[in-house]
Structure 1
């Protein structure tokens, strides 16, 4: 796991500690010392850098090695948690990103409704939503999602307004400046 081939080196505590991630090294050294001095088994979760410079997040479970009646070392095993932790991290991040995208979409839609209804700018629409959120002690996301759910209760625009909008939508491409395409 550290990058050595079997038999290439004689593993020592010093050599193993040299591979520990700098911020974890002292904690691991203390754990080993305590185990040897107090004669206790130990487990540790920490990071180390292998011979190729790759960081591993591991759990180590170890016990003492005795020579007659005193501890001369430790023996145990490593469990590489790197891929497990990375997978969990990615899943949590994917979930959170989707939540943020959904929240942002609701806010943008609610802003669009305010811009259209009140003929205000983007910044003003956002400030209006933030004000209502703060005034009612309601999260911005909950407020905007509820606003969108209730939007069908607003009476439809007059037919001539819808016709004007339809015309604009169908002819937008004719008025785009040449340097914007």
Structure 2
């Protein structure tokens, strides 16, 4: 993952969406730096299954679903669930940093390629659950929202693990 860079203050729509999405991706990676597998598996508070490692796995599923399955129309299963259950990403019984980050980074690479190859932000894909076509623009905005929300969770999780706070 690239080091976190602040998004530009001015730019075109696509450049800004790309920069903000990458900023949030890098923020998640930054919140996990320097932690052991056990620390990454530490739950926020039982009975919640929320962990930093679970967030990384969940966001790999999100990247895969929105970019590969929706925008690119690929007929592929989720990373950790053949049944389409997003919650299985939070089952950390056999999860490690290396497998979670490898999957997440691979899905981010696919997403970046799909976005860069798209003719415009108006390219559409079909969301079966919504029974609607959505634009790449909406997908990028949705992912920015998803990462921003989960990075808030990551802030609290990291503070609870070792007291680290900050951007």
TM superposition score normalised by structure 1: 0.26
- Greater fraction of residues in strand: 1
Structure number with the bigger relative contact order (C-alpha 8 A, sep ≥ 6) is 2
Larger radius of gyration: 1
Normalising by structure 2, we get a TM-score of 0.28
